[in-house]
Amino acid sequence: MLIAYIDESGDTGNSLNRSSATYTLGCVLIDANDWSQAFDDLIAMRRRLRNRFKIPVRAEIKANYLVRGSGALKAVNLSPAERSLIYRAHFNEMDSNGTMQAFGIVVQKSMQYSGKDILGAAWMPLLQRLERASFHNAQSPVLIIHDEGENLSIRKLARQARRHLSAGSVTGAGSQQHPFSKLVDDPIPKASNESYFLQLADLVAYAAFRSLYAPSPGIAQVVPQAMWNNLGDVVRTQVNSLRPRVVPGIVVVRK
């Protein structure tokens, strides 16, 4: 079984109302057989961070906290360079571990849509990619765990995908039906502070966003535009392999 951890960056609001320019989903995908070892390795990494930077092992580390030095990181007063090192350490751990894959869905918002329209614009392409991941992994079942919020809407989209999920044809002629029959139960909402893997998905989402939208000089000290590249072989390039001019592993949706 494959487990997909999903977290978001940005919001689903209308760009007229001071909302984010994009809504991005980050996905970390792991085989259930590899989960225990990957979890133990993450704990070991967090202990190294504790020993070097005094960050509690159970502290929540998310992109926003690293960029601003806030949340659990506020008490340890780290420099931008140190926070950037911590961000890269998470990606390097994913790369060296060799058990995880990651990709992002970036919705570039217009002034016309918000709310459920934006949510669906992000989640349906994500569900399509997960269905294909299942197909190419010997029809493995997929369990989705996502950060809390929009739980009912996400559940509705997943149930819809289980029965009716279409994807564009490679030839460009119409669409093909690939119902997500291997989706296990409803997606499970979980607080991100209770899951290292959801925190990784958050870092993936923000790096995907920044790879397309250059950060300000201050933010770039922590998360440069090329942060995505630190994922190395973790990037699941199949999600947009038919679009050679885009960033590998990042699906761009215009809504």
What pLDDT, on a 0 to 100 scale, did the predictor assign at position 136?
A: 93
Residues of the chain with pLDDT under 50: 168-174
pLDDT tens-digit readout, 71-114: 999 999 999 999 999 999 999 999 999 999 999 999 998 777 77
**What CATH number is attached to the domain comprising 214?**
3.30.420
Q: What is the pLDDT of residue 243?
A: 72
Q: How many domains does the chain have?
A: 1
Q: 0.85 cut: is pTM over it? A: yes
Q: Is residue 66 part of a domain?
A: no
Q: Is residue 79 part of a domain?
A: no
DSSP letters spanning 34-70: GHHHHHHHHHHHHHHHHHHH---TT----HHHHHHT-
Residue 61 lies in a domain: no
- Domain with 25 in it: 2-32+101-254
74, exposed or middle or buried, with CB in 10 Å at 0-12, 13-18, 19+? Answer: exposed
Which residue type, as a one-letter code, is found at position 188?
Answer: I
Residue 211 lies in a domain: yes
